[in-house]
Structure 1
Amino acid sequence: MSRRFPTITATLTTCALLGATGCPQDDLPSQPDAGAPPLPSLRFEDPDAGSGPADLSCLGERTQPVAGDERSFTMAVVPFGAPPSVRVPGAVVHIFAGNEVPDDDICAAPDCVELVADEQGEVTVEVPAEAWFAYRVLPMDGDEPTSTFLRTVESHLSPPEEGGRVENLNTITAATLNGLAASVGGEVRAATGVVSGRLRDCQGRPLAGAVMRIFDEDGVEIELGPKVDDAQVYYFDGAVPPALDATGEYTSIDGRFAAVNMPPSGLARIELWGVPEGEAEPVLVACEELGIHADTLSVIALLPTRSDGPTRCGEVPLSISP
């Protein structure tokens, strides 16, 4: 299912591609067999709170949130890289209260509710409080790349507290995606997926110093390649505005990561590894499962590991290059 929409007039930076969460710092980590680069201790840096070691006190102790009463709130559909005032009226949005997004564009009750953004580019969402939910913004055809939007999926979201800040629903234009790839001399292959996310500690602070790994539904680590259209991993640089960092080997102070040209996988396993303060070896910091869909940007926010998380988390240790 795809629709035609007018061009969205906005300045879209190349960093806009990779996520609902920000812009990327470009890099290719070492191949798994060669080991990851030497890692610094996991740290946070906050303009207001200062900097310090990551709080991992909840590591392995968190559990999946339990659903509460219904909560209603408004979300706006905003293109990556555009200011919040730039919206996408008429965008079709699917809301999944169960946090599970099927690999098609079908929306069937009771698992899915279809909404259409109003003239202000907004939708009113109703989901159980506390529990995770997911959304999908359907692809939209335009007359040119700046008005052609790819499918975007985001999961593991929690409803805001009453009166709290509401995140935007993300979508991305073909122009932004292609521009990002070109900015690092790469290409995005058709029928592959893009993944983006952000790592935070137990206090919700973005973490620097983590390495991203992706495993397919069979538990095999997705191999990164040297060619411009091979599977690639990138990190954000933490600058304002953020940009790709061609030398980055792990997350910067914004905790953001991304991957392109990922083979579609039923439920891929996303792992973030890092070295806690005072330790020498990396540990598994975060692990969740995420569907990777063809021609789709899949976004996820990660916190430290759960006691009831995916069963195969951390089964392949991360080695560090000498």
Structure 2
Amino acid sequence: MMNIKNLLSILLLLSLSPLRSYSVGREILNFYIEEPENNRYESYLELENKSGRELYKWKIGTGSAELNEKWNFTYDLERKFDKGSNSNGWENTFSIYKELEDVEWFGKKWYRDIGPYIKINTVKSKGEFANFSKENKYSMRYRVRTNSDFLLGNTYWGFDFFLSTIDSNNRDGVSLEGNLTGGMNLGYGFQNFFTIYNEYLDYANNNGTYLFRVENNFRWTYDLSQDFAFSIESELDSYNYFKNTDQDKSFKINVGPYLLYSKDINREFRVFAKVGVLGYNYEENKTEVFKSSDSSYYIKIKCGFEYIF
């Protein structure tokens, strides 16, 4: 577990650095909009049905807040239910970060922030094979970002660095990460977002394991009216493990059409929904002892609200 005294000492040192102003970013009908408000709260329900499995997600709250002129706070509280495996769990993240002075590297201006990051991930299954598992992560995170005029502009990319201790029900340990992330506007409604993970894992069944992971979201969006839009989206998530682990690889891809809805009730409050039908899902998993693959059509429904202040 992370030494709390050490964490508090780090926070005290970070509070001596200068800060910049803070604003809220919102994604409305698949497009990013930055607002001058300091706080954002969002909540939604999501249902996904694939391969005869019903997956429910309740996003109790996700958003950001300005704690004071020195620190900002982000949070994400999520309750998950898998009806097929008769299991439920939590996936919660919290971070406190401080914006550092911009720096000039390679002829470009880079945004930076630093602060503690916590991720709580637990799963509890019921019935004959009842089980409880956890993988809680306590980290110090350092981020750098820069903007680019590549293609139509609105392109960003940068790096995330994590130094973490892991609390696992199997074996506690540590992990190190250096991840490349970015997003770009390709024009004519096309967008692409990616993260390439590079992780060193030494906890649970990983004994000095290297994980190479790729997440990618490619989508095309077409405005139907002020409140409605249509999109076709593909989501890819690939894991590849190397050395000293019982894991090998996993691969998942979703491709499908969506109808999007967003309605401003007033300047601060909006409701939204996203419905996907006839989407295609493919998943493959491989470990030392088994290999499985599955493909099916899926339905995904999401609805909720957002409030900025």
Give yes or no for TM over 0.5: no
Compare relative contact order (CA 8 Å, sep 6+) and give the higher one, 1 or 2. Answer: 1
The normalised TM-score by structure 1 is 0.27
More strand by share: 2
**TM-score relative to the length of structure 2:** 0.28
